[in-house]
Amino acid sequence: MKRLILIQNDYAGAGKTTLAQCFEQYLNLHRVPHHSVVVAETVVAGSSRSHLDGNDLGVAEFLTELDQSDLVVMEIDTGMTEAFQRFFGKSQLDAVLAEAGYDLTVAIPVTGEEESFDGVTIASEVYADAAQYLIVHTPTGSSYDRESRLWERSHAARVMDMFEAVDMMMPPALDALESQLKMRHADLHEVIHTDASEAVLHAELGKWLRKLNAQLDVVKKYAFGDAFRPEVHVITVEEKTKKRRGRKPKGALMEALAAA
Residue-wise pLDDT tens digits, 188-214: 877 777 776 688 888 888 899 999 999
pTM: predicted TM-score of the whole model, two decimal places? 0.84
228 φ, ψ to 5°? Answer: -80, 90
Which residues, in sequence order, are bridge partners of residue 132? Answer: 105
At 16-36, the pLDDT tens digits run 999 999 999 999 999 999 999
Q: Decide if 104 contacts 132 (C-beta within 8 A).
A: yes
Task: Report pLDDT for 190.
Answer: 76
> Of 258, 247, 196, 228, which Cα lies nearest the Cα of 34?
228
CB neighbour list of residue 191: distance below 8 Å, 6 or more residues apart: 180, 181, 184, 201, 205
Q: Mean pLDDT highest for which of 112-126, 146-160, 162-176?
A: 112-126
Exposure letters 133-162 (e unless 16+ CB within 10 A, then b): bbbbbbbbeeeeeebeebbeebebbebbee
Compute the average pLDDT of residues 110-124.
95
CB within 8 Å of 25: residues ≥ 6 apart: 192, 193, 209
The single-letter DSSP state of residue 231 is: P
Confidence of residue 257 (pLDDT cuts 50, 70, 90): very low
Rg (alpha carbons) of the chain, rounded to whole number: 22
Confidence at residue 238, expressed as pLDDT on a 0 to 100 scale: 66
Contact of 19 with 111, CB cutoff 8 Å: no
Q: Estimate to the nearest angstrom the gap between the alpha carbon of 103 and the chain centroid.
A: 16
Domains of the chain with bracketed CATH:
2-234 (3.40.50.300)
pLDDT of residue 241: 61
Residue 185 C-alpha from the chain's centroid = 23
pLDDT tens across 57-115, in order? 999 999 999 999 999 999 999 999 999 999 999 999 999 999 999 999 999 999 989 99
| Residue 223 DSSP SS3 | helix
pLDDT at 84: 97
